[in-house]
Amino acid sequence: GAVVSQHPSRVICKSGTSVKIECRSLDFQATTMFWYRQFPKQSLMLMATSNEGSKATYEQGVEKDKFLINHASLTLSTLTVTSAHPEDSSFYICSAGGVTEAFFGQGTRLTVV
Amino acid sequence: AQSVSQHNHHVILSEAASLELGCNYSYGGTVNLFWYVQYPGQHLQLLLKYFSGDPLVKGIKGFEAEFIKSKFSFNLRKPSVQWSDTAEYFCAVNERRDDKIIFGKGTRLHILP
């Protein structure tokens, strides 16, 4: 099946710094990718829809200026957590592919200290 | 807004026991339904899906799920679990009119050898 690669798998950063997470579709082109966030024992919450060549669409309650999304090519979307704080510590997952079968990255565990 | 409820957060079973994981959704319109599984250290992957037709859906590894429209349910079943079924299972729903997939909180399944 199609593969989506997410990098890094784990990152620890200092409070106030920014962290970039990459999501790549390895063997198919993805005009749309999705970014999710998962708190411990919570659901995967959709944060935003990343659209190639245009602005991302954010879900209600997600800060656009804090979670910057760039989808510059058909195979790459990036999520940048700006001025990270400990409450941003979470598990972030991207997905690509259509509804018939979405493919997920392995996730990124972000810890802000 | 639509939501997905998974009744069990953590299930522990012995090998060969039968499994049923509950899932209910709140959206009243036309939906697609999914079960995803995440094995330890691996990507989230599709277990089975329902779009239309026979409400009893067969998936990989002996799993099946039944869509009961009147109950807004899509429960996952397996007659006899194996140790290798230890994983986290997510029920998910997608409104037919867009590509967003909404997830339940997940059920962590632990099979005792």
DSSP A42-70: SPEEEEEEEETTS--EEPTT--TTTEEEE
Q: Is residue A111 classed exposed, middle or buried when 0-12, 13-18 and 19+ CB atoms within 10 A define those classes?
A: middle
Query: In angstroms, rounded to a whole number, what is the distance separating the alpha carbons of residues B64 and B48?
Result: 7
Q: B63-67, B77-81, B100-104: which has the minimum mean pLDDT? A: B100-104
- Please tell me the predicted confidence (pLDDT) of residue A9: 92
- Please tell me the predicted confidence (pLDDT) of residue A72: 84
Q: Residue B32 is nearest to which of A43, A45, A99, comparing CB atoms?
A: A99
Q: What is the pLDDT of residues A50-76, one digit of tens each?
A: 988 889 999 999 999 999 999 989 899
- Please tell me the predicted confidence (pLDDT) of residue B99: 74
Q: How far is A107 from chain B (nearest CA, A)?
A: 8
Work out the pLDDT band at B97, boundaries 50, 70, 90.
confident
Q: What is the pLDDT of residues B23-65, one digit of tens each?
A: 999 987 888 999 999 898 787 888 999 999 999 999 999 999 9
Contact state of A101 with B9 under an 8 Å Cβ cutoff: no
Q: Return the ∠ at Cα A27 (arms to A46 and B52), rounded to 5°.
A: 55
A49 touches chain B (CB under 8 A): yes
Query: In angstroms, rounded to a whole number, what is the distance separating the alpha carbons of residues A89 and A111?
Result: 5
- Please tell me the predicted confidence (pLDDT) of residue B80: 97
- Please tell me the predicted confidence (pLDDT) of residue B27: 82
- Please tell me the predicted confidence (pLDDT) of residue A42: 72
- Please tell me the predicted confidence (pLDDT) of residue B40: 85
- Please tell me the predicted confidence (pLDDT) of residue A81: 97
Residues of chain B numbered 39-68 and touching chain A (CB < 8 Å): 42-46, 49, 51
Query: In angstroms, rounded to a whole number, what is the distance separating the alpha carbons of residues A92 and A105?
Result: 9
Q: Does residue A69 contact residue A50 with C-beta atoms inside 8 Å? A: yes
Residue segments in chain A with a per-residue pLDDT below the cut of 70: 1-2, 41, 98-100
Residue B103 predicted with pLDDT over 70: yes
Work out the pLDDT band at B16, boundaries 50, 70, 90.
very high
Lookup: tokens for A5: 């690669």
3-class DSSP assignment, residue A64: coil
- Please tell me the predicted confidence (pLDDT) of residue B45: 87
Q: How far is B28 from chain A (nearest CA, A)?
A: 19
Residue with tokens 């339904």: B33
